[in-house]
């Protein structure tokens, strides 16, 4: 699925930055970008989780060294393993969580944020790897310089550390100087961090879908015309309850699946029923190991 994003920001009543996000089905969804404060808070929460894991890893390493009675080369080997484990945890933490369907670390989820592709397409593993690999330069390198500055005593070395810290700080503060709040990693990877607030499923969408579906007779081909991505968009459309958007989406789906509306059929009834049919179809296919990501996926 592709999207048309317009660069000019628009502020809502709470001052949140928005971007127009127009998908081929004709839906104009406005994405709210995560603020610098929200992103910083999410990152600090993730750092706290990583620090807790590192403390656990440290206790485990000390216990292993003590239990095995390692000295000299053995202790150095254990230390190297700890350093390697810490690096893998620090790097793999963000990649592993952002590769999930929610595309968010625990910190981002707590702050109601997620990572998305700026072009509206799929968020691929390559983009996630790039944005997180560059975090080493943007964040962890400055932290390393700070730690080094406390350890060195040579004035020349301190000057080099200060220059390195200033250079790395440019990357660290980069989101504050661009209107899309992009990190360097986001800029290179073609991603951005958007708001994904937690919402409870509307009552008629959760409870009345089966009842409404009983009044519609969708064929297997009609119910399977779309994929998971379109299902998520349709769910968002039903939650918004915008009559103009509901009508536009209903018309496009009817054309695509060659559906003739009944005399008393409303757009809400049709879309809610189709949502239930599409979801049931996708879940049924998933039981057999087939996951259709979007309407272009022929699997």
Find, among 278, 200, 205, 282, the residue nearest to 238 by Cα: 205
Residue with the larger pLDDT of the pair 109 and 136: 109
pLDDT in tens, 261-270: 877 788 888 9
**What pLDDT, on a 0 to 100 scale, did the predictor assign at position 24?**
53
pLDDT in tens, 137-186: 877 776 766 666 655 555 556 676 677 677 777 887 888 888 888 888 89
CB 42 within 8 A of CB 98: no
pLDDT band at 20, cuts 50/70/90? Answer: low
> How sure is the predictor about 17, in pLDDT bands with cuts at 50, 70 and 90?
confident
Within the chain, strands assigned E span 4-5, 10-11, 17-22, 28-32, 113-117, 191-195
Report the distance separating Cα 276 and Cα 258, nearest Å: 18
């Amino acid at each position: 699925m592709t999207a048309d994003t317009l660069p000019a920001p628009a502020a809502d009543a709470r001052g949140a930055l928005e971007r127009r996000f127009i998908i081929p089905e004709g839906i104009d969804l406005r994405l709210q970008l995560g603020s610098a404060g929200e992103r910083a808070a999410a990152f600090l929460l993730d750092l706290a989780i990583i620090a807790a894991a590192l403390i656990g890893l440290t206790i485990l390493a000390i216990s292993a060294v003590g239990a095995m009675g390692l000295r000299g080369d053995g202790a150095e080997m254990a230390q190297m393993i700890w350093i390697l484990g810490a690096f893998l945890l620090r790097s793999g933490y963000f990649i592993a969580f952002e590769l999930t369907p929610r595309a968010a670390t625990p910190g981002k989820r707590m702050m109601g944020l997620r990572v998305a592709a700026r072009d509206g397409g799929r968020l691929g593993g390559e983009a996630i790897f790039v944005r997180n690999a560059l975090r080493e330069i943007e964040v962890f390198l400055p932290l390393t310089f700070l730690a080094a500055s406390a350890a060195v005593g040579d004035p020349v070395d301190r000057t080099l550390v200060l220059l390195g810290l200033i250079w790395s700080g440019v990357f660290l503060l980069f989101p504050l100087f661009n209107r899309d709040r992009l990190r360097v990693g986001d800029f290179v990877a073609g991603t951005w961090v958007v708001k994904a607030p937690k919402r409870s499923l509307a009552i008629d969408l959760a409870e009345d879908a089966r009842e409404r579906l009983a009044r519609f007779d969708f064929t297997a081909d009609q119910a399977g015309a779309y994929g998971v991505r379109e299902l998520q968009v349709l769910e968002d459309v039903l939650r918004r309850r915008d009559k103009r958007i509901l009508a536009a989406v209903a018309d496009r789906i009817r054309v695509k699946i060659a559906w003739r509306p009944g005399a008393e059929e409303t757009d809400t009834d049709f879309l809610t029923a189709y949502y239930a049919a599409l979801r049931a179809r996708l879940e049924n296919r998933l039981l057999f190991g087939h996951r259709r990501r979007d309407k272009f996926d022929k699997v």
